[in-house]
Structure 1
């Protein structure tokens, strides 16, 4: 069991809260088109940030 799940359960969260009933859209390969026409960060440094080797921005 992952540590985050163990901590959540020991803090009182039910294990069933994290249960997945069906495959997510990403797992099925479906993708929805994202409307970025109203994105206030488009073209900014924030929009083009890439994580480093540790996954941090």
Structure 2
């Protein structure tokens, strides 16, 4: 039969890197739009950051 190799470690780190890039992008956009500090944005719950991102896109 056929089997595919799957490197769980590589997959995990790819996902971590993608999440880190997304978070950095969110923080940069919100800091620029609202003038908030990185610390304030990183302590904010993800759901709240996303709500502010939506607000920033609308206004």
TM-score range, shorter chain: under 0.3
TM-score (norm 2): 0.20
Higher relative contact order (CA 8 A, sep 6+): 2
More helix by share: 2
TM-score (norm 1): 0.21
